[in-house]
Amino acid sequence: MVATNTKGRPAQISKVEVIECALNLGLHNLSMHALAKQLGVTATALYRHVSSKEELIACCCDYVMKRVGIPAETDWQQYLYCFAKNFRSSLLAVPHSVQFIRHHQQFTPATSILVDDALGVLRNEHFDAEVGFMAFVSVYTKVMDIVQHQEQALANSTNEQELAVDAEVLPNLAWLLAQAKPVDYERYFEDSIKITLEGLKAVYR
């Protein structure tokens, strides 16, 4: 955290500090005023690094996507599976990042590098360009869905109330709830990505 300004001397903040603080605040709480207050600087200090809130959001997305490792695999299914694991790890390492990426809905420079590499693998596996892109986006979107679900479940866990069901009125729902267990998100991820890849294989190969 950057220290509050000393009198007569503006605090020095880096662009990375601005981005990391914005991500920590979360998209729904983000404003240039709130960010400046959190960093202990004036809004003018922020505008030395970004020209607008939308540019800041784009920078946040690029910051996250730069953390995603490019797979070394050449088989398209193995490649997309490895990408999914790397992408999930990067999103979980930066809480709230899915909110930013979904809001921005555009490729950043780092995202473009990932897409280009994936398309190269899919092209070598004789996918049509549009089909290859759709295959990548299917996995990309699925990973964000899983991570967002996991983060929401974590946020709700502290104030979650047990659902009361009258077994005589709703016997089947009561039966389900009696057997319900906390979601194993590792297994949920593995199963979801496997199903996604098998679906892509069945449709496009």
Task: List the one residue out of 117, 120, 133, 142 whose CA is nearest residue 197.
Answer: 142
pLDDT at residue 181, as a whole number: 78
Contact by Cβ (8 Å): 16, 66 = no
Radius of gyration of the chain (CA): 21
> What is the pLDDT at residue 161?
55
> What is Dmax (Cα atoms) for the chain?
72
- Residue 9 DSSP SS3: strand
CATH ID of 15-51, from 1.10.10, 2.40.50, 1.10.530, 1.10.150? 1.10.10
Phi/psi at 120 (nearest 5 deg)? -65, -45
Mean pLDDT for back-to-back runs of 10 residues, the chain (205 residues):
45 90 96 95 93 96 98 97 98 95 95 98 96 97 96 71 79 87 90 96 84
Cα–Cα distance for residue pair 195/81, rounded to 1 Å: 11
Task: Spell out the domain ranges in the chain.
Answer: 15-51, 68-204
Tell me if the pTM is above 0.85: no
| pLDDT score, position 157 | 65
Taking alpha carbons only, the member of 16, 17, 21, 52 closest to residue 34 is 21
The pLDDT value given to residue 141: 97
Q: Which fold has domain 68-204?
A: Tetracycline Repressor; domain 2 (1.10.357)
* Nearest Cα residue to 133 out of 70, 200, 88: 200
